[in-house]
Structure 1
Amino acid sequence: MEVATEIFIESVRKICPQLSADELSLFASKLKFQELKKKEIFLQVGKVQNAIGFIAKGLVRSFYIDDKGNEITVGFYKEGDYATHYPAFITRQQSRYTIQCLEPTQMLCLTYEDQQWIYQQSAGFERYSRLIVEEILKRQQARIESFIFETAEQRYLDFINNHAGLFNRISLSHLCSFLGIERQSLTRIRQKLSHQ
C-alpha cells in the first residue's frame, strides 16, 4: 500500500503542487487499498459506486452490453487514472457501466462520504477534484466527437498516437469495440497503413 500511496500523492502533486504535506496526509489517510485480479469486476452495472478508484498499477476497461448482447468498451484506464462512472458516482445513481480489470490491478479507493468530508477540510482538494473532473469531461467529449467527425481510420490513428502504451496491453476485440469497428475493418485499416 505504501508504494501505491506514494504514486497517488505524486500524481496529486503534479496537478495541485500548492497542496501542503498535511493536506496530502489527510487525503491519504482516507484511502483504502484494493487489489483485484485480472477479469475481476470493480464496478458492476446496476450498482451504485461506493468508492472511486485511483489506479496505482494495472489496467481496467469500462463497458456496457448492448441490446444484441455485445460488450461495448467505452474506455480504458491505466496507472494514474481513476476508475469510475463519475456522473453516477456523484449523484449516487446506479452505474450504466461495468468496470473490469484487464490486468492484476492495485487501486486506492475513496468513498463518496470521505470525498465530501475532505472537501469540507480542504479547499485545495475541491480544486484538485475539479481539475480531475474537467479532464474526465474533456476525454468524454473527445470520444463523442471522434464518432461524429472522424473516420474509423482516424479514430485508430488517434488511439495509436494518444495511447501507444496501451496497444500491447489490450485485446484486438476490446480495441475494435472501443473504436466502433468490426475486426475485419481494423485488419484492412492496419494493412492500408502498413503500405503507406
Structure 2
Amino acid sequence: METLKQRILNEGKVISDQVLNLDGLLNHQVDPQLTMEMGREFAARFAEAGVTRVITVESSGIAVAFATAYELGVPLVFARRKKTLLADPDALCERVPSFTKGIVTDIMMSRKYIKENDRVLFIDDIIANGDAARGLIKIIERSGAELVGLGVVVEKCFQAGARTIREQGITLESLVRIESLEGGVITFGESL
C-alpha cells in the first residue's frame, strides 16, 4: 500500500510521539478511491476465510469496513458507541476506553446482526492500545460467532494493541505499520 504510505506522509499530522492525525484521509474526510483500494486489499487478504460479515466500531472504521464488505459481498455491521431510543435492550455491550478521545464509552451490537454461525472479519482504522478492538472481540466471543481476523489500516507498532491481539492467536493484518512518530517524523515499519 505505497499509495497509502505516501498519503499519510503528505496529509498526516504528527501531534505528539503517540498521536497521528489522519483526519484528511481516514477519520474526518474520506477519499472514496483510496478507501475502495483499501477494501480490495483487505478482501484479498481474507478471501479464503469464508467471511459472512464484516464488523467495525463506529465511526472512523465504517468507510473502510464498508469497502471491504462490498468487495467480499457480505453485510457490514458496526458497533454503536451511543445508545439510542431504538437500541436493542438485549444488545451485546462492552465498556472500552478510547485512546484518542480520552474517555470511556460503551460499544454495543444488536444480537440480531451477529449470529453463532457467522465468520466475522473485524476491520478498523487504527490500532494503538487496542482497547476498542479487545472490547469488540469480547462481543464477538459472547455472540458465539467466529472471528476470522482483524484488518487495520494503520498499526502503531510502538503501542501494545496489535501485539496483544496477535498474542491471543488472532490473525491481524495491517495495511501500514508505523514504528515511530518521534521528533514529528513518521517512520514506517516493515510489513509482517
TM-score range, shorter chain: under 0.3
Structure with greater proportional strand content: 2
- Please report the TM-score for the alignment, with normalisation by the length of structure 2: 0.25
Name the larger-Rg structure. 1
Q: Which has the higher helix share?
A: 1
